Amino acid sequence: MSLFSIFNVAGSGMAAQSLRLNTVASNLANAESVSATPEGAYRAREPLFAAVHGQQAAGESRDAVASKGVQVLGITESQAAIAQRYEPGNPLANADGYVYASNVNPVDELVNMISASRSYQNNVEVMNSAKQLMLKTLTLGQ
């Protein structure tokens, strides 16, 4: 793996974690939303990622696989149950007085936010380390 490809891998990781942070923000913003029907209730969204692997470089062992980064496969909706609450005074309540709340778990979302933030920071550190290595390499001949 060349030193330049490190920037591509870390950059794709940063983009993936940024998307993850955006979905967490969307989920937290809609955590307390309600709907008149179970189908209309907000469902937590979760990004789906996959590692992208490249071709084996010449001279590398057969077990070595060059990593190309992270690919976003899409965003899925959680299939967790939708909560039903009795709130007859709510303007969105159905004829029986029930509203349907989102299936967002704020604690899980905060854990996802911390994890995504730390992963993003780790990718920034990888890029900074690679930059420092390149700068040191350039000054070796002086």
pLDDT in tens, 27-62: 999 999 999 999 999 999 999 999 988 765 555 555
- Give burial (CB, 10 Å; 0-12/13-18/19+) of 87: middle
pLDDT of residue 59: 56
Strands (E), the chain: 34-35, 45-53, 67-77, 83-86, 98-101
Q: Which residue has the higher pLDDT, 58 or 118?
A: 118
pLDDT of residue 61: 54
SS3 state at 43: coil
pLDDT of residue 126: 94
Mean pLDDT calculated for residue range 70-77: 94
Residue ranges covered by each domain of the chain: 3-35+44-80+103-138
29: DSSP letter: H
pLDDT of residue 11: 93
Cα gap 52→56, rounded to integer Å: 13
CA of 94: how far to CAs of 30, 39, 54, 133, in Å? 20, 13, 54, 63
Mean pLDDT calculated for residue range 88-102: 93
At CA 100, angle to CA 39 and CA 105, rounded to 5? Answer: 100
CA of 114: how far to CAs of 5, 21, 27, 141, in Å? 27, 9, 14, 42
Asked whether the predicted pLDDT for residue 91 surpasses 70, the reply is yes
Global pTM value: 0.83
pLDDT of residue 81: 93
Q: Please state, rounded to an integer, the average pLDDT across all residues of the chain.
A: 89
Residue 72: CB atoms within 10 A of its CB come to: 14
